């Protein structure tokens, strides 16, 4: 493998690593922010809408997480294509075209919904159980 091809693979791997880091940050914010909002809603002076706001934030972070996972999978596919390519000349293109199906598949992955779905349901549960006093 030539040095140009190795550098190209390093560039792709750097993008994959950055996307994975973004996903981790999104998951941290989703759980932290959603739990804080829902915890506020569970206090005696809070409103029901605050719990639903926690659920809405979980959905927004869920969508963003699926977006980053879809992009990451597209770049992994590009990386794998370059690794098995017989020609030693890299294309040097970092453009990927993930489809809507890629994003929907990412949306349903356990790594994504297992983080955001509990926060979503907790917000619905607390929102349904908290009445204005």
Q: What is the dihedral of CA 28, 33, 36, 41, to 10 degrees?
A: -140
Number of domain units in the chain: 1
Query: Per-residue pLDDT tens for 8-31?
Result: 999 999 999 999 999 999 999 999
Query: Per-residue pLDDT tens for 87-126?
Result: 878 888 899 999 899 899 999 999 899 999 999 999 988 8
Q: In whole angstroms, give the CA distance from residue 68 to residue 75.
A: 11
Q: Are 58 and 121 in contact (CB under 8 A)?
A: no
Q: Quick check: pTM over 0.75?
A: yes
Q: Which domain holds residue 120?
A: 3-129
Query: Per-residue pLDDT tens for 45-97?
Result: 667 788 889 999 999 999 999 999 999 999 999 999 988 887 878 888 899 99
- The Cα-based distances of 26 to 20, 34, 61 in angstroms read 10, 11, 6
């Amino acid at each position: 493998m030539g040095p140009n091809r190795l550098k190209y693979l390093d560039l792709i791997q750097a993008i994959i690593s950055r996307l994975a880091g973004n996903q981790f940050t999104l998951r941290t914010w989703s759980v932290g922010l959603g739990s804080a909002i829902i915890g506020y809603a569970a206090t005696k002076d809070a409103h029901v809408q605050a719990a639903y706001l926690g659920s809405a934030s979980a959905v927004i972070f869920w969508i963003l997480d699926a977006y980053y996972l879809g992009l990451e999978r597209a770049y992994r596919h590009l990386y794998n294509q370059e690794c098995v390519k017989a020609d030693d000349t890299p294309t040097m293109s970092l453009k990927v075209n993930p489809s809507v199906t890629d994003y929907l598949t990412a949306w349903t992955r356990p790594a994504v919904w297992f983080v955001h779905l509990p926060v979503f349901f907790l917000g619905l549960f607390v929102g349904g159980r908290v009445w204005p006093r």
